[in-house]
Amino acid sequence: MADPVLVELPRVSTHKQLALVTGGGSGIGEAVAHALAGRGCRVVVCGRTEEKLTHVAETAPPGAAEIVPHVCDVADRAAVAAMIARCEGELHGLGVVVNAAGLNVPGRLLQDATGEEWDRVMAANATGAFNVLKAAVPAMKERGDGLCVNISSVAGVRALLLGGIPYAASKFAMTSLGLALSTELKDTGVRVTNVYPGEVETPILDQRPEPPSAERRALMLQPEDVAAAVMLAATLPARANVLELTVKPTVQEFV
């Protein structure tokens, strides 16, 4: 059988040369940051741990554009506003925003989840995405162009106990935020994409009450698989909008 022919994707278009990736210190966010930088997009990676962000910047693929670390908790609305102001001022304007920040907690069932766990998950996964979009979208609208990508989850379209009640509720909120915003922005030139990954081999798995085995993890999506889905949305022409995209491990049931 002949080797498959690899088709090089186009670079992110020139009007989208600065991207922001939240949750960029590991997992999906790290993979998305490297993919965008590898296609010539200067990337701001945001997260709560400076050492992780610096590592992402230092391990960019050969020939990649610059990756700029920026420490920020997306649940902190004032800090997010300051970060977006930096992107729009010092770094000359955002073309792509990827909301990849997210967390989960051990309490998955209603009887186990604490109020503090609920608040933490909602603040990071739902309110954090709102904070970023609220700050970033106005300048995109003014320019008449831009792409906002929300890394939701299959738990954001199916209420799966695997992810747990707080996580599913937060991801449903993120999903609804993206779909409603897409309708709001449809005549502005700003596009919104929701990506729904299934199980992905990332550090968030360690928060499961029973972390999966190495054998199970080997069957899951890898972060670069989700990054490839983001790149589809980022490299299409402005006339085309991927509104929703589900990507799951082949072996994972989705009902």
DSSP per-residue letters across 84-100: HHHHHTTT---SEEEE-
The whole-angstrom separation of Cα 27 and Cα 48 is 14
Contact indicator for 178, 48 with CB cutoff of 8 Å? no
122's tokens? 């909602």
Using N-to-C axis directions, what is the helix angle for 128-143 and 165-185, rounded to 10°? 10
The residue type found at 112 is D
Exactly one of 167, 169, 182, 201 is catalytic; name it: 167
Whether residue 110 contacts residue 161, with contact meaning beta carbons closer than 8 Å, is answered with no
User: Torsions phi, psi of 82, nearest 5?
Assistant: -65, -40
CA distance 187 to 181: 11
Based on the residue annotation, tell me whether 167 is a catalytic residue of this protein.
Answer: yes
Query: What kind and span of H or E run contains 218?
Result: helix 214-218
Distance CA 197, CA 154 (A): 6
Q: Which residues are catalytic?
A: 167
